[in-house]
Structure 1
Amino acid sequence: MVAIAEAFSWVGLLVAMAFKYGLGMPLGVTVMGWVHGLIFTAYVVTCLIVFSPLRWKFRVLVLALVSSVPPLASVWFERWANRRGLLTEPDSDEPTFWGRVRYALRELN
């Protein structure tokens, strides 16, 4: 849901930029820039939160984060990840990323 919202806010920002530079109406960029920034941040935070419980490899996390930069790429990533079953929590006894970090920190103490 956040990926789709991020893509729509990107499109809204592009339309607002067309109004600003084509018609001299800058208010849309002020509003849509703020909205897109908020949703973009939510997308990045969501990716960082879910990558561990979904047991994504680091390269999948990087792909998710990189897909937030080009317009509409977050929708492509969401569809790609869904087809590969990366958006459902796997049944696994393997420790999560943060579980491994916690273990490493405990061993260092």
Structure 2
Amino acid sequence: MKNLFITKIGRLRIIGYLEGLSLLVLVFIAVPMKYYFENPSLTKTMGPIHGALFLLFIFNTISVGVEQNWKFRNTTWKVILASFIPFGTFYIDKTILSKL
């Protein structure tokens, strides 16, 4: 666990986890509250947080890819593509990032 805070790949994994978690909260809690209970306050809060985490994940992926000399075709594009697929950050963490 301590390695996650020390290395850039570890920090990328944490950001990916937080980005995926924010999407879970947004999709399964905030959006139902907005449409079923007519309370949009959580979507107004979680939307920008999720967007910021998404951008942070993209920028850190590029930074780690450059630092680690990842070939764009082999690793970097897969990690970036996973961030566009809902909950793809969890999958990419399990299949690629945890093994680096």
Scaled to the shorter chain, the TM-score interval is 0.7 to 0.9
RMSD: 1.3
Matched, 1:24 2:38: yes
CA positional deviation for 1:82: 3.4
Task: State the distance in 2 between where 1:68 and 1:28 align.
Answer: 22
Matched, 1:37 2:57: no
TM-score by length of 1: 0.71
Moved over 4 A (4+): none
TM-score by length of 2: 0.77
SS in 1 for 2:97: helix
CA positional deviation for 1:30: 0.4
Would you say the 8 A contact 1:11–1:71 is kept in 2?
A: no
Task: State the distance in 1 between where 2:68 and 2:94 align.
Answer: 16
Task: State the distance in 2 between where 1:54 and 1:6 align.
Answer: 22
CA positional deviation for 1:62: 1.3
SS in 1 for 2:54: helix
Q: Percent identity?
A: 24
- Give the greater-gyration-radius structure (CA): 1
Residue of structure 2 equivalent to 1:11:
24
In the comparison of the two structures, how many residue pairs are matched?
85
Task: State the distance in 2 between where 1:71 and 1:18 align.
Answer: 17
